[in-house]
Amino acid sequence: MMFKKLAIIFIALFGILLAVPTLSPSLAPYFPSWIKPIPLGLDLKGGAQLLLEVDTDVMLKEKSAQLYDEVRSAMIDRDRGVIRFSDLRNTGKGVSLIVRDDNMVSKAKGRLRHVLGNNVDISSNGKTLFIAYTSKAREEMINDAMSRSIEIVRRRIDALGTKEPSIQSQGGKYILVQLPGVDNPEHIKNLIGKTAKMSFHLVNENITSEQLTSGHAPSGTMFLSYMNSPEQKVPVYTRIEVSGDSLKNSEASFDQNNMPVVTTEFDASGTRRFAKLTTEHVNERFAIVLDDKVLSAPTIREPIPGGRGQISGGFTLQGAKDLAVLLRSGALPAPLSVIEERTVGAGLGADTIATGKIGSVVGVIFILVFMLMLYGFFGFIADVVLVVNLMMIIGISALFGATLTLPGIAGIVLTLGMAVDANILPFERIRDEVRSGAPTLRAVEYGFSRSTKTVLDGELTNLICALILFQFGAGPIRGFAVTLSIGVATTLFTCLTLTKVLVDYYMNGKSRKIGYIRNK
């Protein structure tokens, strides 16, 4: 029994210790690195907020173009036998074609089903076939694009060293980005909005200057501009020799002439393809293309078997670092556009903190005085437990990396109010037991044991509400739900265990007089 009481006191002291760096930041350097001050949210610290829209329509059009290529490849598969067709079209929502032979329509549908699987709907009208992704497949593509976009945006922001960013989905096709402490979001906005699709293409050396001037590219070739010289065009084959998806790492560095460059490293598959490209096309040029712009078009001097390359293009050091971040974080599956931008000044955040502190302190003082006046020494014990509860909420929130927002402060104040109620219940039950004739020592035991279920029911109800708010809410609502959830846990611990331990120490195994109880 003594060990249990000491364990309860130790847990309470540990929770208080976790809160010290937050309450006194000057002491933070003396604590282990994993005990940190609780980070402040955008509304308290100031910073920038961006609302990004994921253009899933463009992504679905690209998927439709890929479906076009897959259908064409399936129909002209020489291993299975070519099925003659005509009028192959990309309708934007799917693909249509006309099978020339009536007897081959069923075979064509069977082959397409075998190659494309159950992610597509295949219908026919005579000899005309219609192939389109199912509604379920389209929904999965959109959900995947959203989750990948959020992860890529997070990696790009983290790579810039921005601390405590909040990045979350909102409204199906939007991403809410909150950047506490960032006064000028322009650089970050430009960086996270770039698609960053990189690919390697061979240069078509057979194109004449007249063709380049006219702008009419022959089939299988496209004319792309240099990123730093838009007026200069490069004829590149449309076939992608190596995709940027095969990149494993990229870093900003310097070449032999001390000029900024970006070094790249491919994964195993990319290394094989890059080695094959540079081995079979020595003394030919290949273009490094980023978002339909040519970064550079160097000549292959010798095979490069190691999977490491170097991109040069007249970069500044910051430009090289930005490109390395983009390539390292991966390409966005769909374009992003900023549809709302908001900046919260640090001064406004400081005013909010000051106002929140005043409101919280006033509320806590009223609660402490109320409990002291109503319950005497037991009220003093409840006040001590209440302060411990407050510090444990702050400390555990900091330990879990939660961000404190203004709604979070409201959640803390609400939790303290519920904690008072959780202490009043056993105290009133003790009063009832004494009035019914029970000795005070037994009344204390009955009071806590018989009020436990009521306290549990109330706190678990609050926890369920908090979890629902966290699951379906966004932004400030989630901040409120987090502190409320942590507060439920700390309230159950402090009011059901710590209060009982302190009361037991006060009673010291004897039926002492309880000051706040007056017999009728």
**Beta bridge pairs of residue 249:** 265
Is residue 392 scored above 90 in pLDDT? yes
* pLDDT tens by residue, 492-509: 999 889 998 888 888 887
Is residue 346 scored above 60 in pLDDT? no
Rounded to an integer, the average pLDDT of 157-185 is: 77
Arithmetic mean of pLDDT over the chain: 83
User: Can you give the pLDDT at residue 345?
Assistant: 66
d(CA 82, CA 96): 17
More confident position, 267 or 356: 267
Tell me the whole-structure pTM to 2 decimals: 0.59
- Are 327 and 250 in contact, with CB atoms under 8 Å apart? yes
Chain-centroid distance, C-alpha 48: 17
What contacts 40, CB < 8 A, 6 or more positions away?
164, 180, 349, 353, 403, 404, 405
d(CA 220, CA 306): 29
* pLDDT tens by residue, 231-251: 889 999 988 888 877 778 888
Rounded to an integer, the average pLDDT of 154-169 is: 76
User: Can you give the pLDDT at residue 224?
Assistant: 92
Is residue 169 scored above 60 in pLDDT? yes
Is residue 308 scored above 50 in pLDDT? yes
DSSP 177-243: EEEET-S--HHHHHHHT----EEEEEB-TT--HHHHHHT-PPTTEEEEEESS-TT-EEEEESS-SEE
d(CA 134, CA 401): 41
More confident position, 144 or 473: 144
User: Can you give the pLDDT at residue 352?
Assistant: 65
User: Can you give the pLDDT at residue 204?
Assistant: 92
Share of the chain above pLDDT 90, in %: 12
* pLDDT tens by residue, 6-38: 888 899 999 999 999 988 888 888 888 888 888
**Among the ranges given (58-62, 136-140, 351-355, 402-406), the one the predictor scored with the smallest mean pLDDT:** 351-355
In the chain, the N- to C-terminal Cα span, in Å, equals 36
What contacts 295, CB < 8 A, 6 or more positions away?
227, 288, 289, 311, 313, 323
Chain-centroid distance, C-alpha 492: 31
The C-alpha angle with vertex 342 and arms to 341 and 346, in degrees rounded to 5, equals 145
d(CA 38, CA 93): 49
- The backbone region for 311, taken as left when phi is positive above 0, alpha when psi lies in -120 to 50, beta otherwise, is beta
- Are 415 and 393 in contact, with CB atoms under 8 Å apart? yes
Q: Is residue 354 packed enough to be buried (19+ CB in 10 Å), middle (13-18) or exposed (0-12)?
A: exposed
d(CA 484, CA 41): 16
d(CA 383, CA 494): 11
User: Can you give the pLDDT at residue 163?
Assistant: 64
User: Can you give the pLDDT at residue 520?
Assistant: 44
User: Can you give the pLDDT at residue 162?
Assistant: 67
Pair type for strands 242-243 and 260-266: unpaired
What contacts 388, CB < 8 A, 6 or more positions away?
12, 15, 16, 494, 498
Is residue 474 scored above 50 in pLDDT? yes
Listed residue (279, 319, 15, 30) closest to 190, CA to CA: 319
Rounded to an integer, the average pLDDT of 414-436 is: 86
Is residue 518 scored above 70 in pLDDT? no
- Are 409 and 32 in contact, with CB atoms under 8 Å apart? no
* pLDDT tens by residue, 314-339: 778 887 887 777 777 766 778 888 88
Is residue 396 scored above 90 in pLDDT? yes
User: Can you give the pLDDT at residue 388?
Assistant: 93
d(CA 415, CA 411): 6
Is residue 456 scored above 70 in pLDDT? yes
Rounded to an integer, the average pLDDT of 405-421 is: 84
Is residue 515 scored above 50 in pLDDT? yes
User: Can you give the pLDDT at residue 157?
Assistant: 82
Give me the phi and psi of 516, to 5 degrees please. -80, -5
